[in-house]
Amino acid sequence: MKLEGILKTLLLAVVSILLFASAVFAASTGPAAIDIKKGILFVTFGSSMPQGEAAIIAVRDAVIAAYPDIEVRTAYTSRIIMRKIAREQGRSIDEPAIALAKMAYEGFTDVAVLSTHIIPGAEYDDLAAVVRAFRMMSEYAPKPGFRKITLSLPLLSEQESIERVAEVMANTYEKEIEDGAVVLVGHGTHHFADAAYSALQMALLRQSPNFYVGVVEGLLEYDDVLSRLKSSSVKKIYLAPAMLVAGDHTLNDIAGDEEDSWKSMLEDEGYEVTPILTGWGQNKGIRDIILDKLSEIWDELDR
């Protein structure tokens, strides 16, 4: 991890501890919490675009439907998106550290933190650091702190879930992979977790040779995908995001009309390109995997 990433993680951890300590101090002046109060913190990178928010809402609604008696709070990990929403829409969305501090202050004792990140990259590392800070503080201040706090794993973090994602993609694009190639484009990262996209590519190849995985930033670049396409007889391409939301990256970097978008560059190579502008959050199969990950950490609260 680069120095900037390390400093950011440490800063988030320190902020989390200070916020939590403030909540403990304030709550300690009132009645001590006695009853168990469980909650879910739904965490996503975030989106300020209607298309992107539709995917987030779909996943959040699925969580609420699965746990109708449990309060579900929401937090974004992208401060850029949070500031944009506040500036343009007048809405305030908390980051995880603040959301958890509020939950501690309000008497939640057991919290399951649901990550909807695709890979265990820098964003997830920061979230895990915040959760560890609250868990550590709870050991020293059990009242009114959290009795237990758990954190789910991202979608592409374990081989089993990677294989499940590949199966969902095969079912989702059953007709498309018979008609041409499906190119799934993820965000990518310079974090070592970028390797998860390569693992997904291998899992998808076991489903069909007409699946291709690339990233906007990372190892599986456009040129790598193009090289594989050229070695095949494919002429028709379905271009879809390998992201929770179909937001800015999808509408501009992947499927935009700019000359450097994936769509434009593939069309310049002579391919017939059909963009699919839906995020993974709008896919029931992906939502089911996310819910299973939540179920695992929810069960941990009772152990």
Alpha carbon of residue 300 to chain centroid: 21
Among 231, 230, 212, which residue's Cα sits nearest to residue 221? Answer: 212
- What are the start-end ranges of the H helices in the chain? 3-28, 50-66, 79-89, 96-105, 122-140, 159-172, 176-179, 195-205, 222-230, 248, 262-268, 284-300
For 153-157, what is the mean pLDDT?
97
More confident residue, 136 or 98: 98
Report pLDDT for 65.
Answer: 98
Average pLDDT, the chain: 88
Catalytic residue at 187?
yes
Q: Which residues pair with 183 in a beta bridge?
A: 212, 239
Report pLDDT for 33.
Answer: 45
Report pLDDT for 86.
Answer: 87
For 115-138, what is the mean pLDDT?
93
Among 126, 157, 158, 52, which residue's Cα sits nearest to residue 60? Answer: 52
Percent of the chain having pLDDT more than 90?
72
Catalytic residue among 187, 190, 191, 249: 187
CATH 3.40.50.1220 fits 159-278, yes or no: no
- The tokens for 39 are 């909650």
Does position 50 have pLDDT exceeding 90, yes or no?
A: no
- The tokens for 127 are 């979230």
Alpha carbon of residue 252 to chain centroid: 20
Does position 227 have pLDDT exceeding 50, yes or no?
A: yes
Lowest mean pLDDT among 17-21, 91-95, 236-240, 255-259: 17-21
Does position 273 have pLDDT exceeding 50, yes or no?
A: yes
Report pLDDT for 169.
Answer: 98
Tell me the per-residue pLDDT of 160-192, one tens digit each, with 9 for 90 and over: 999 999 999 999 999 999 999 999 999 999 999
Fold identical between 3-156+284-300 and 159-278?
A: yes
Lowest mean pLDDT among 7-11, 218-222, 256-260: 7-11
The structure tokens 């190119």 sit at: 183
Among 1, 6, 86, which residue's Cα sits nearest to residue 46? Answer: 86
Lowest mean pLDDT among 103-107, 142-146, 269-273: 142-146
More confident residue, 69 or 247: 69
Q: Give the pLDDT band (50/70/90) at residue 26.
A: very low
Helix (H/G/I), strand (E/B), else coil: 243: coil
Which residues lie below 8 Å from residue 247, measured CB to CB, with a gap of 6+? 47, 48, 49, 51, 52, 279
Are residues 125 and 1 in contact, defined by beta-carbon separation less than 8 angstroms? Answer: yes
Are residues 123 and 117 in contact, defined by beta-carbon separation less than 8 angstroms? Answer: yes
What CATH number was assigned to the domain covering residues 3-156+284-300? 3.40.50.1400
For 270-274, what is the mean pLDDT?
97
Residue 200 half-sphere exposure toward CB, CA atoms < 13 A? 31
Q: Where are the domains of the chain?
A: 3-156+284-300, 159-278
